[in-house]
Structure 1
Amino acid sequence: MNRPSNATVNVPARLGVGPMSKNAVDAALEVAYRHRRPLMLIPSRRQVEAEAQGGGYVEGWDTAAFAGYVRDRDPEGLILLCRDHGGPYQNPREKQQRYGLSEAMKSAAQSYEEDIRQGFDLLHVDTSVDLEGVATLEAAIDRAVELYARAVEFARSVGAEPQFEIGFEDQGSDTNDPAEFEAQVGTALERLRAAGLPDPTFIVAQTATKVLETENVGALTVAPFAVSSTIRELAAITRRNGIALKAHNCDYLSREQLAYLSRAGVDALNVAPEFGVVESRAFVALLRELGLNVQLERFLALAYESRSWQKWMHADTRAGDTGRAMIAGHYVFATDAFRDLKEAARVRAEQRGIDLDGRLRGAVASAIEHYALALPDHHSSSPALAASA
């Protein structure tokens, strides 16, 4: 099953950007064209979803609207559309309405089908979630193979060839055990290959990167040398199979910490919630600059009352109401209440000669560049970075 250890890997892009808002999408396009390098946009099913599955919270976009918006602004194809965390129970209504497994699998398959219709380049098959808690590894692999096969069959029927990304478990703060990871990879690839399915482009590993509140709490931030040593072993496992290694939850990492990941063999990484927080902070700063205290209080209350900050908090959090509102700000950008207060801010900003969305977009673009420029351009098929580390 294994391929030679010097096998090349396909790395279509090194950075996955969470499309937390229209400004975040525009910022990603700006960075991609400014630096002439591909970027991945990685909407979750919460953020952008098929119309039949209820759409998403980002701009109210369904999959077709999102894909159309990006493609219309990307004449050279520098942006890859990539589904992040596809799979059963990844759409909130599947849990809210307590879908049975068969119904949740059908919903996930239909979501992938719409991604494929709209020309998505890569599909992340994440079956780690169950109706109650986390799926067992055996169940996760069974479901992943089934969904993968459905997606490939549908793609072939419409003449499409999306790439795939797989993982086996919910992200934690430590690394995988290399021996266990090798067994997981071996089992998953054996099952996929026995079914005549193409290999994935990326395998997601636990790389000691995890986000809580507005910091990375993974072990990478406290034990980088030990973590790097383990990641090299994980990268060697994926490389033996000609597959690239992907890290998730890489928000709030420094250039130095990103360099540890890159040198250890991480081929690509995802960053998402940080870009929403950056835009919220920039909006709050602008409201203060413009003296719009009423709009400021309304925004903070709207974000706080959404309760969307809850899943990001430390168990013993000391964050105040404003800090929680900053974490949840981007979840309310598409609401009518936010649009009304933003319009008031836009009018005042124009009176001062300020381009409101230009200011917000610039803040997010700077945050994206922090990651894009920390990763050497490595998007063509070539030996994995760890081979030269």
Structure 2
Amino acid sequence: MKNLSIKNVVKGLLDLQDKDESGTIIGIGPMSKNCVQAALEVSKEKDFPIMFIASRNQVDAEEFGGGYVNGWNQFTFVDAVKEVSDKIAYDNYYYMCRDHGGPWQRDKERNDHLEPEKAMTLGKKSYIADIEAGFSLLMIDPTKDPFEVGKVIPLETVIERTVELIEFCEEERKKRNLPEIGYEVGTEETNGGLTSTETYEKFILRLKEELETRNLPLPTFIVGQTGTLTRKTEQVGEFNFNNAKELAKMAKRYGVGLKEHNGDYLDDISLLEHIPSKITATNVAPQYGTEETRAYLKLAKLESRLFDNGLIESTSNIYNVLLDESIKSERWRKWMVGDQVEMTIEDVIKDKNLSNEVIDIAGHYTFNNEKVKKEIDHLYNNLNDNGIDGNRFVIDHIKRPIRDYAECYNLTGITTKIKNIQ
């Protein structure tokens, strides 16, 4: 994993764009160990590098309560990915990445309305754990300010905090004599202000000026708004080809790759447009959690049929437990629209259609709950007794959309192409 850095991957992709041979690499939200395995298997099969992008809510230091994904902290997350990699004899390149790192990026910090100094201190502590665990890419995102809700944070404030955090991370990395890491800056959030090409270039120029003054590295990626937006389990945005192309051209002018967020549930035409628009990377996260949830629910229906045919003594209670835990988690609120954001748990329970939407949206937030794990084990045992490998089905189910993206993003063989031009 050490002889092809994330910076060299991006440089290779930018060089390949000149030959019309490039692709758009994928940042995978690590929703579970099954998701990690699915991503690594497709990466190995199709010969392309892959990034695992963990938010602070998903994976974080023990002192902050870890993360909702398997209770992982940075070190156990790295260990888990390596374990899966070794198990499948993985032979390509994967990169451990921090998605939306920085102040107020844990829900609790934002809800507690921490003062900026305290929030920055906690964000820095989280970055130290990222660095010590060996992360390859850190996203510097100081735009989730609870005191500026609904407002565009002043660009100078974003730049000032971004530079402070990069400078801090570089000092901590050098203290530990660790290899260079990449940085991702900007945000897809509208309050980050990077929604127009003019503001985007102004941000790049001002950031470049401040970083060079301090002898700090330029970022590897700059996030830009390409029109994508994920709500519920749908892509409700509209991919803006011309805007994406302009942002990518602008980023490349400074040797940086354009990174797109909210790339879930895109249709094939929009996916294929990523190649001529020259987007360097896309993040996809909740879609894979939803795919895993749907896989369990399909297996639950199969299990019911096995029971009806007298092939098992009792069924698991996976559907009801997933439903109950999903609703109680209240994490579905983030993805809802309109008045549904404020609905009470009781209102959701009463509405059968809405309840099923909630399990689709928020099922993956509950995979680490003991009740859910117990029912998954029961489900797998029932299937195994009838010659069906339930876990294999779940992994393959998650692989489907990853494979679709990889094919549309021209990723087959991209690792070999990059290595050949290095």
TM-score, length basis structure 1: 0.89
SS at match of 1:283: helix
Q: After superposition, give the CA deviation of every residue in 1:268-295 in whole Å (9 maximum; x if it has no partner).
A: 1110000000100110111111014743
Shift of the 44–345 alpha-carbon distance from structure 1 to 2, 3 Å rule, reads same
Q: CA deviation at 1:179?
A: 1.7
Q: Which residue of 1 aligns with 2:215?
A: 196
| 8 Å CA contact retained: 1:168, 1:184 | no
Deviation at 1:52, TM superposition (A): 2.3
Q: Give the structure 1 partner of residue 358 of structure 2.
A: 324
| Cα distance in 2 for residues equivalent to 1:369 and 1:109 | 36
Q: RMSD of the alignment, in Å? A: 2.3
**Aligned equivalent of 1:179, options 183, 198, 214:** 198
**Counterpart residue identity of residue 170, structure 2:** V
The one-letter amino acid of 1:267's match is: T
Structure 1 position 42, deviation (Å): 0.4
C-alpha distance in structure 2 between counterparts of 1:296 and 1:183, whole Å = 50
Cα deviation for residue 163 of structure 1 reads 0.6
Aligned position for 1:264: 277
Query: What is the alpha-carbon distance in structure 1 between the residues aligned to residue 54 and residue 372 of structure 2?
Result: 21
C-alpha distance after superposition, 1:118-173 (max 9, x if no partner) = 1111111111111232643322221111111100111111122111110155159x
Separation in 2, partners of 1:11, 1:59: 33
Distance in 1 (CA, whole Å) between partners of 2:377 and 2:190 is 38
1:42 counterpart SS class: strand
Identity within the alignment, %:
33
Residue 337 of structure 2: aligned partner: 314
Residue type of the alignment partner of 2:106 = N
Q: Structure 1 residues 24 and 169 mapped into 2: Cα distance closer, same or farther (>3 Å)? A: closer
Q: Residue type matched to 2:102 in 1?
A: G
Q: Across the two proteins, how many residue pairs are aligned to each other?
A: 369
SS of equivalent to 2:242: helix
1:223 corresponds to: none
Is structure 2 residue 286 aligned with structure 1 residue 273?
Answer: yes
Q: Tell me the equivalent position of 2:19.
A: none
Q: Give CA deviations for 1:209-229 in whole Å, capped at 9, x if unaligned.
A: 010111111122xxxxxx212
What letter corresponds to residue 176 of structure 1 in structure 2? Answer: T
Amino acid paired to 1:295:
I
> CA–CA distance in 2 between the matches of 1:54 and 1:83?
17
Superposed displacement of residue 204, structure 1: 0.4
User: 2:170 is matched with which residue: 149, 152, 155?
Assistant: 152
CA distance in 2, matches of 1:28, 1:37: 11
SS in 1 for 2:359: helix
Superposed displacement of residue 325, structure 1: 1.4
Query: What secondary structure sits across from 1:124 in the alignment?
Result: strand
Inter-CA distance 131–205: structure 2 relative to 1 (3 Å threshold) = same
1:204, 1:245 within 8 Å by CA — same for their partners in 2? yes
- Whichever residue aligns with residue 358 of structure 1, its letter is R
* 55-64 or 181-190, which deviates more: 181-190
Give how far 1:90 is off: 0.5
Q: What residue ranges of structure 2 are gaps of 5+ in the alignment? A: 1-9, 15-23, 305-314, 341-350
Secondary structure class of the residue paired with 1:373: helix
Distance of aligned partners of 1:198 and 1:381 in 2 relative to their CA distance in 1, 3 Å threshold? farther
Displacement of 1:31 after TM fit? 1.1
Q: Which secondary structure does the structure 1 equivalent of 2:338 belong to?
A: coil
Q: Secondary structure at the match of 1:309?
A: helix
1:298 equivalent in structure 2: 321
Alpha carbons of 1:175 and 1:285: their partners in 2 closer, same or farther (altered >3 Å)? farther
Aligned match of 2:183:
164
Distance 1:264 1:381 in 2: 23
Say which SS state the counterpart of residue 262 (structure 2) adopts: coil
CA distance 1:178–1:295, shift in 2 (3 Å): closer
The equivalent residue for 2:309 is: none
Letter in 1 for 2:331: S
**Partner of 2:11 in structure 1?**
9
Q: Alignment partner of 1:83: what SS?
A: strand
Matched to 1:37, the amino acid is F
Instruction: Choose which of 257, 276, 281 in structure 2 pairs with 1:244.
Output: 257
Output the amino acid matched with 1:149: E
SS at match of 1:290: helix
Aligned position for 1:3: none
Contact between 2:316 and 2:379, CA under 8 Å: does it hold in 1?
no
Query: Any idea what the Cα deviations from partners look like across 1:10-52, whole Å, max 9, x if unmatched?
Result: 5497110110111101111111111121100001101011122
Deviation of 1:230 (Å) = 2.1
Q: Which residue of structure 2 lines up, in the alignment, with residue 224 of structure 1?
A: none
Q: Is the 8 A contact 1:288 1:296 kept in 2?
A: no
1:38 aligns to 2:49 (yes or no)? yes
Change (3 A) 1:171 1:363: farther
Higher-Rg member (1/2): 2
8 Å Cα contact 1:141-1:168 kept in structure 2: no
Give distance in 1, aligned partners of 2:379 and 2:137.
38
More helix as a share of residues: 2
Greater mean alpha carbon deviation, residues 344-353 or residues 370-379: 370-379
The structure-2 alpha-carbon separation of the partners of 1:289 and 1:297, relative to structure 1 and needing over 3 Å to count, comes to: same
- Tell me if 1:140 matches 2:158: yes
The equivalent residue for 1:285 is 298
Alpha-carbon spacing, 1:258–1:95, altered in 2? closer, same or farther (3 Å): same
Counterpart in 1 of 2:100? 85
Q: How does 1:213-232 map to 2 (within 5 A)?
A: 213-220=232-239, 227-232=240-245
* 2:189 counterpart SS class: coil
For 1:344-380, what per-residue CA distance to the aligned partner results, in whole angstroms no more than 9, with x for missing partners?
Answer: 2122111122222211111111121111221123563
